[in-house]
């Protein structure tokens, strides 16, 4: 942690938590065993970001495509979501973490919706890290629902980037500067498609249940070694500094 430049932290880190099923397979267990053992990784990532002073952490917890998984696995995931939110409230409160969510929450089971809303209300006054759970979320869904809202309001204003961003589920949240994906897969899987236009991507072979604070720190240090140009040349960046 002492090697990290606190003046060059990403304000917003997004994570695709991948590899739970493969981790379980290496243990000779069912996939849900991997999901259950991933909670420690979620806790470590959340605490690590809170300790460093990262402002936003978005975790891709359940995509719209995940409904296509075996029915028993989906049911187990939903049950795990409910129990985890209850069990992790102390961690959230101890670390001054505010809980938010993005995605079509209305499609989740009623008990999951109720527990999520209760947790969000309980943490609403926390002023540290904002932890955002992407649940029943996809980037294409987000862009589509933004456009639908614009059309439904019959706005007379010009359709531009700022207007679309105003209606995205992440409105008011800065775009992620860093995306971490575990398990060695190198794709963004329909996650924050609009928001990641200039996000730095970091891929690691570590399976998500094994992810710890040191892996988070490795990703942040790699981010800090990169030059973010946003279409400009290196010379222009140097001159601006």
Q: Tell me the pLDDT tens digit for each residue of 168-203.
A: 999 999 999 999 999 999 999 999 999 999 999 999
C-alpha closest to that of 17 among 182, 213, 153, 206: 182
| CB distance 95 to 46 below 8 Å | yes
From the candidates 18, 20, 115, 142, give the one annotated as an active-site residue: 18
Q: How many CA atoms lie within 13 A of 17 on its CB side?
A: 30
pLDDT-derived band at 112 (thresholds 50, 70, 90) equals: very high
Q: Which two tokens stand for residue 112?
A: 């999951």
From the candidates 44, 66, 175, 218, give the one annotated as an active-site residue: 66
Domain ranges of the chain: 6-226
175 catalytically annotated? no
Question: Mean per-residue pLDDT for 1-19?
Answer: 93
111 catalytically annotated? no
pLDDT-derived band at 160 (thresholds 50, 70, 90) equals: very high
Q: Is the pLDDT of residue 137 over 80?
A: yes
Question: Mean per-residue pLDDT for 20-28?
Answer: 95
Q: Tell me the pLDDT tens digit for each residue of 116-126.
A: 999 999 999 99
Distances in Å between the Cα of 172 and the Cα atoms of 22, 120, 175, 202 are 36, 17, 9, 24
Just give the CATH number of 6-226: 3.40.1180.10
């Amino acid at each position: 942690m002492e090697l990290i430049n606190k003046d060059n932290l990403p304000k917003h880190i997004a994570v695709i938590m991948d590899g739970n099923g493969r981790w379980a397979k290496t243990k000779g267990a069912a996939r849900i065993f991997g999901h259950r053992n991933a909670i420690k990784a979620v806790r470590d990532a959340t605490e690590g970001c809170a300790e460093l002073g990262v402002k936003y952490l978005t975790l891709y917890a359940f995509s719209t495509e995940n409904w296509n998984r075996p029915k028993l696995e989906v049911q187990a995931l939903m049950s795990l979501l409910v129990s985890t939110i209850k069990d992790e409230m102390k961690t959230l409160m101890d670390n001054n973490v505010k809980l938010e969510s993005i995605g079509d929450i209305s499609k989740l089971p009623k008990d999951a919706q109720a527990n999520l809303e209760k947790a969000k209300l309980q943490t609403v006054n926390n002023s540290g890290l904002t932890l955002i759970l992407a649940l029943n979320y996809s980037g294409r869904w987000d862009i589509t629902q933004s456009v639908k809202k614009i059309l439904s309001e019959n706005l007379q204003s010009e359709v531009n980037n700022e207007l679309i961003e105003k209606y995205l589920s992440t409105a008011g949240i800065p775009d992620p500067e860093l995306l971490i994906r575990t398990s060695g897969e190198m794709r963004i899987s329909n996650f924050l498609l609009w928001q990641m236009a200039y996000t730095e991507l970091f891929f690691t072979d570590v399976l998500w249940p094994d992810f710890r604070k040191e892996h988070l720190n490795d990703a942040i240090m790699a981010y800090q070694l990169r030059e973010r140009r946003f279409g400009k040349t290196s010379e222009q960046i140097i001159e601006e500094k």
